[in-house]
Structure 1
Amino acid sequence: MGTTLGGCLLLLAGLLLGYRELFMLGAAGLTAVAVGTVWGLVPPALHVDRVVVPGRVRRGEPADSVVDVMARGRAGRLLSLHDGVWDADGKPASEAVTTEVFARPGLPTRVRLRLPTNQRGVFQVGPLRIGRTDPLGLWSALRPVGTAQQLVVWPTWHAVPASAIGRTAQIEATRDPQHTESTTFHTLREYVSGDDLRHIHWRTSARMGTLMIRRHEGASIARLVLLIDDRAPSYVDADSFEQAVEVAASVLVSLTDAGRRLAVMSASDPTRDPVTTTAAGLDLLAAARLTSSGVSDQRIQAQLRLRPLGDALLVVTGTVGDVTLAAPLAAKYHSVQTLELGPETRLDVAGAVIAAPTAAGMIARLREQR
């Protein structure tokens, strides 16, 4: 812009004052701008391949945008590469990653752009933009190439002893030969209105003085239901929620590594089918965001009663949440436990509620429970 304005002023001054030198200098400046404009507007002939490696990564671990660039034709080209990272709201998650590359004809040049992974989430990488500058440095242009790709940054996690989560007091838990191979007698629990009377264990009921029901479990049913509370009113601040997500990821990875089966679900959408694999659970936690969902504790409890997915329930929530969310479900689950994260911690409730201000503090508390 400055070169164009200066050239116009010199050209006008040369015409008005009769100075040929000023006129020629202004004309040269405008000619340079015109040549640079044509240079910038003509797209370079390139072949570009880009892939994000790996597509899923733990927070803090490396992830790269791998770009192969090759010039078409006989001449090489000096280019600049710009790769942006955008969050779920379409806002820049960080400054664009940039570098320069000389694209050679007939032979791809590979460049790795290190992507930021310092925060969890599901991000859009790109589209990749290629910049080109004219030889005089007067004009530059950026053009998008290809499509955007996804980068999933999982929350980080820490080792948690499996024995500290979902502990149950099993009563006469032996295999029932009356059931098929796909159904296993897991344990006994107290009778709840609506249970099938055929599953009453009369001998134990007589000894306990209350009706006891056989608890059967299919071969594929999850043993622990992990509920992450993603409702904003349950937390003091956003950092407390991040601590809760980190604890949930630690429980998920540690228990699946120990051979335990889990079902992971969010409080804001209790009717959604839970995820039952480690990768899918980490994807859910990576995408988890505080919501202003008006889902009540009663609705969550009703859904968990209607469709019990295991024999133990673990709720990860904030210190503002209702500590009694899981307690009414004791009739459906042999173990109900709540982990609360936040600065305003409350007293533990006989092991059923464990509170800590940070994820590191909660992990330490759980290790004490083993």
Structure 2
Amino acid sequence: MREALAGLTVRGRAFLAAGVTAIVCAILLDQPTLARVGILLLAVALLTVAVLARNRYRLTLVRTVTPQLVAAGQPARVTLTLANEGLAPNGALRLEDQVPYVLGTRPRFVVEGIGHGWRHSVTYQVRSDVRGRFEIGPMSVRVSDPFGLVELGRTFRTTVPLIVTPRTVPLPQIPLGGAWTGSGDNRPRAFATGSAEDVTVREYRRGDDLRRVHWRSSARVGELMVRREEQPWQSRATLFLDNRASAHRGQGIASSLEAAVSAAASIAVHLTRRGFAVRLVTATGEEPGSAWHVRGAELNAGPLLESLAVVTPVPQARLETSWLGEGAHGGLTVAVFGGIVSHDLPVLRRMQHHAASALAVAVDVDAWIGGAPGTATQLLGQQGWRAAPLGPRDRLDAVWQELAHTSAQSARGVARAAHPEAEPEVVG
């Protein structure tokens, strides 16, 4: 009852005030007709409060977002399915769903004719030009009587996530190198010196069946080796994204970081379509949500795009190298760099050394703020990378095609001709 009284609208409070005023005036002026009018106004307001207070409605909500993974600039459809499981009928409902401001204005709906067993669905669209992970909901419901005297509010607690991935562009086919090298279970052992039996064995791992131990290979290698049930070869690639705040310039969607994230997303889609199992590594290390694809699973860039959707700039100055372990040697490495400083060069050399083929897209961060073109591409070439610059007005597909004309041999030639003492302190 208290909740219903607190839910009186301006009209309902006016009815109560007019009823009390009419009764007081009727007593003072000895006008029984006026008293009957006052009693009628009070009765209508109080009876409405009593009816809504006793109305134990039970509304259920099912919210679905299709698709839940959408590219920036593309719309997603949100469907709200409401049902009334209460025994008593309700009046009109006013619905308002909470959405982040980047997805658009808050949708509002009015539905009427609600009774027992009532079910209704409403649909609206959301769209964001900004990547990220957004929560849609909760939804607030306002229940009112036919006279508009009382209005009660309810709020559903459930929310549904919507992941907006970076924009991607199709990339042309270029020679990548490092294919079919694999690692872990996918990397053959001792091609040059062993027999065919050596190719079909791997290191013993905890939990392996001891009946699969290959004793001849174990004696030759000096450690326990087990037979492979089958030979699961698969190309693997490491996608590196430099997301340090100090390595980028600009703000918002026009920043060099957003260009780097979009480039990394396009490369991730391209590599997975070419049959690579790809993992994502950032300045803080390997992203747990984008680990190597398990063998037999359908190759898709979904986990990579989800991780790239929530990448944020990090304040650290140096690149994390813990992911460059024993198992990281070999395979293809594709990196998207921002600004490069002198203490990054040893890390770049180590990354190139651990890769069978190393390609880099160097985002020209100084050009993002109207400065002169940087020399990051030259520095990467000195470390043995095949690199191409990406400016604010450059097309990523053209930059990717340019990597095909950049050879590792020419990069090493530049490295031999370069003077280490002349390396710049900070470049874009």
Task: State if a TM-score over 0.5 links the two structures.
Answer: yes
What is the distance in 1 between the residues matched to 2:153 and 2:161? 22
Deviates more, 1:99-108 or 1:141-150: 99-108
What is the distance in 2 between the residues matched to 1:356 and 1:48? 47
Q: 1:193: which partner in 2?
A: none
Structure 1 10/140 Cα, relative in aligned 2: closer, same or farther at 3 Å?
Answer: closer
What is the distance in 2 between the residues matched to 1:319 and 1:30? 74
What is the distance in 1 between the residues matched to 2:91 and 2:388? 61
Q: 2:324: which partner in 1?
A: 304
Q: 2:269: which partner in 1?
A: 253
SS of equivalent to 1:81: strand
What is the distance in 2 between the residues matched to 1:154 and 1:15? 66
Q: Aligned-pair distance for 1:236?
A: 0.9
SS of equivalent to 2:389: strand
Q: 1:78: which partner in 2?
A: 92
Q: Aligned-pair distance for 1:288?
A: 1.5
Match of 2:390 among 326, 349, 356: 356
Q: Aligned-pair distance for 1:146?
A: 5.7
Identical residues among aligned pairs (%)? 19
What is the distance in 1 between the residues matched to 2:279 and 2:401? 22
Kept after mapping to 2: 8 A contact 1:154/1:286: yes
| C-alpha distance after superposition, 1:270-316 (max 9, x if no partner) | 48575234221111111212233x2622xx23532554164222222
Q: Aligned-pair distance for 1:121?
A: 1.5
Residues 1:133 and 2:144 are matched in the alignment: yes
What is the distance in 2 between the residues matched to 1:321 and 1:363? 27
| C-alpha distance after superposition, 1:184-204 (max 9, x if no partner) | xxxxxxxxxxxxxx99xxxxx
Residues 1:98 and 2:108 are matched in the alignment: yes
Match of 1:48 among 61, 80, 98: 61
SS of equivalent to 1:114: strand
Instruction: Give 2:281's aligned amino acid.
Output: M
SS of equivalent to 2:321: helix
Kept after mapping to 1: 8 A contact 2:97/2:137: yes
What is the distance in 2 between the residues matched to 1:304 and 1:85? 41
Kept after mapping to 2: 8 A contact 1:79/1:131: yes
Matched length: 328
Residues 1:346 and 2:374 are matched in the alignment: yes
Q: Aligned-pair distance for 1:254?
A: 1.0
Structure 1 residue ranges without an equivalent (≥5): 184-197, 200-217
Q: Which has the higher helix share?
A: 2
SS of equivalent to 1:163: coil
Kept after mapping to 2: 8 A contact 1:98/1:113: no
Kept after mapping to 1: 8 A contact 2:290/2:307: no
Deviates more, 1:256-265 or 1:352-361: 352-361
Q: 2:217: which partner in 1?
A: none
Instruction: Give 2:94's aligned amino acid.
Output: S
SS of equivalent to 1:289: coil
Q: 1:147: which partner in 2?
A: 158
Structure 1 307/181 Cα, relative in aligned 2: closer, same or farther at 3 Å?
Answer: closer
Residues 1:291 and 2:311 are matched in the alignment: no
Deviates more, 1:237-246 or 1:92-101: 92-101
Deviates more, 1:254-263 or 1:75-84: 75-84
Match of 2:199 among 163, 180, 183: 180
Q: Which is greater in Rg?
A: 2
Q: Aligned-pair distance for 1:358?
A: 3.7
Structure 2 residue ranges without an equivalent (≥5): 1-8, 181-189, 203-219, 222-230, 294-300, 405-428
TM-score, normalized by length of structure 2? 0.62
Residues 1:263 and 2:279 are matched in the alignment: yes
SS of equivalent to 2:280: strand
Structure 1 vs Structure 2 CA RMSD: 4.1
Kept after mapping to 2: 8 A contact 1:263/1:309: no
Structure 1 148/182 Cα, relative in aligned 2: closer, same or farther at 3 Å?
Answer: farther
Question: Following superposition of structure 1 onto structure 2, how do residues 12-27 of structure 1 map, counting pairs within 5 Å?
Answer: 15=24, 18=28
SS of equivalent to 2:161: strand
Match of 1:61 among 62, 74, 84: 74
Structure 1 5/273 Cα, relative in aligned 2: closer, same or farther at 3 Å?
Answer: closer
Residues 1:232 and 2:260 are matched in the alignment: no
Kept after mapping to 1: 8 A contact 2:280/2:286: no
Q: Which has the higher strand share?
A: 1
TM-score, normalized by length of structure 1? 0.71
SS of equivalent to 2:362: strand
Q: 1:280: which partner in 2?
A: 303
Structure 1 337/271 Cα, relative in aligned 2: closer, same or farther at 3 Å?
Answer: same
| C-alpha distance after superposition, 1:196-216 (max 9, x if no partner) | xx99xxxxxxxxxxxxxxxxx
